[in-house]
Chain A
Amino acid sequence: MRLDEKMNMTTIKHHLTDALLMGYAAGTLPEAFSLVVATHLSMCDECRAQAASFDAVGGAVLEGGETVSMDAGSLAATLARIQGVTPEAAPKAPHAKARKAGDLPKPLLDYIGGDLDAVRWRPVGMGVRQAILTTAKGATARLLYIPAGTAVPDHGHRGTELTLVLKGAFRDQTDHFGPGDVEVANEDLEHTPVADIGEDCICLAATDAPLRFSGMLPRIAQPFLKI
């Protein structure tokens, strides 16, 4: 069974905020945030439907908005562009998905360049490992590997931090987060996520500002960890 099929709506408790979904529909989110949103939407039909509704708001804004006349000759130029261009054909039938169990959603596969076994993890201490994913400046995205029962150092945030559970689960001061759940943390939250005992936890995390660690050691290490 595929990862997203395992996650029916009864298991996902923590969803994306409307602000994130609207920003995603408007196309104004930092790339790292869009990656978390696209990955969560691949796992969560509830948010996928809400995201489509925000697209419809964009359609209403376009439909109800002003108009600016196109240049003279614009239509003729466009007709010339499509002249002789046959619209692309629709796929014959839904192509069968031949993914293995536990595979990551496609947007994430694209950024990793493969599945979890292709991730180049780097240790960040306490058994925790991370892999930074390449995205545009302004926010960073990374995969976090937290061994079962391990804590990520106590930290606060200057901006917004999104943490999406891909595998396993963690608990912090606010709640318990399982596969598909996304935690949206802002500067008010200082937390220590701890992975569940039963299974190692893998998360996709994105921040638009550096994290603030409370302890002395992590703060010194922070510039080297790039988190």
Chain B
Amino acid sequence: MLTESELFEVPTISHARRAHVRLSAVKEPQRKISKVTATPDDTQKWIDLMIALRDHQDRTAFVQLFEHFAPRVKAFLMRGGMDRGKAEECAQDVMTTLWTKAHLFDPTRASVATWVFTIARNRRIDLARKDRRPEPEDLDWGPASEPDQSEALALQEDTETLGRAIAALPEKQRELIEKAYFGDLSHSEIAEITGLPLGTIKSRIRLALDRLRHALG
């Protein structure tokens, strides 16, 4: 693992060259940091909409979720190298899955953004038809195991804190994290990423797991 100061030096020549090629080829617009921070109300808003969709098949809720997340999924996939047409199609698939698999959404486990991310990731892997990504054994936690309002709230707060902390990271470090998720970094390049503020959210999920194990035991 590298220290923070080491991280900011250009890691390897090949890496730098690759980044240069990508930047000149894609001509990406400058990202604005202000966009990163969602207000606390937003996270809760998406959850309420998601639950309206899940429990009442509320199409108005679906429209709002679509308008917020579909353009993000499309951009996310394009940053990972998918062409515009395919990313458009894939983003539509992801939003359709949001509807059909709504029962799998569990606010004590993930924010809507996290859930949408995992659907998009899985769809991208399916479309690539290369390396499959086996899932861990299901733990039977989810809506069926008594959703807890305060637990959900606490997790959402932790998720927002995480989002703000990532937004506040030095730009190079943040860009490296983004690249990892776009699918642009090899395993050894990922190993150079340090300083992710995961402690709080991890403890929260860990406690939820303990409680679940206890309930099932």
Contact = CB atoms under 8 A, between A and B. Distances in A.
A55 B181 CA distance: 10
Given A28-B185, A52-B109, A57 B79 contact: no
B205 A49 contact: yes
A102 interface: no
12 contacts: A26-B190, A45-B210, A52-B205, A53-B162, A56-B114, A60-B163, A70-B71, A87-B100, A87-B102, A89-B103, A107-B135, A136-B130
B136 A42 contact: yes
Interface size class of B (residues with CB under 8 A): 35 or more
Contacts of B99: 82, 85, 87
Interface of B: 28-29, 31, 35-38, 53-54, 57, 59, 62-63, 66-67, 69-76, 78-79, 84, 87-88, 91-92, 95-96, 99-103, 109-111, 113-118, 120-122, 124-125, 130-140, 142-145, 159, 162-163, 166-167, 177-178, 180-181, 183, 185-188, 190-191, 193, 196, 198, 201-203, 205-206, 209-210, 213, 216-217
Given A38-B136, A45-B206, A86-B57, A58 B118 contact: yes
B46 to A, nearest CB: 9
Contacts of A160: 187
A81 B96 contact: yes
Interface in A71-96: 71, 74-75, 77-79, 81-82, 85-95
Nearest to A136: B131
Contacts of B79: 65-66
B100 A82 contact: yes
B210 A29 contact: no
A138 B131 CA distance: 9
Contacts, number: 261
B113 A29 contact: no
Interface in A2-16: 4-5
A41 B137 CA distance: 8
5 tightest Cβ-Cβ pairs between the two chains A and B: A59-B114, A64-B36, A67-B71, A41-B136, A94-B140
Interface of A: 4-5, 17-20, 22-31, 33-35, 38-39, 41-42, 45-46, 48-71, 74-75, 77-79, 81-82, 85-95, 97, 105-107, 110-111, 135-136, 138, 160, 208
Contacts of B198: 50, 53-54, 57
Contacts of B91: 70, 74
Contact of B134 (A26, A56, A88, A107): A107
A34 B132 contact: yes
Contacts of A68: 71, 74-75, 78, 84, 87
Nearest to B202: A53
B110 A56 contact: yes
A18 B113 CA distance: 21
A53 B205 contact: yes
B104 to A, nearest CB: 8
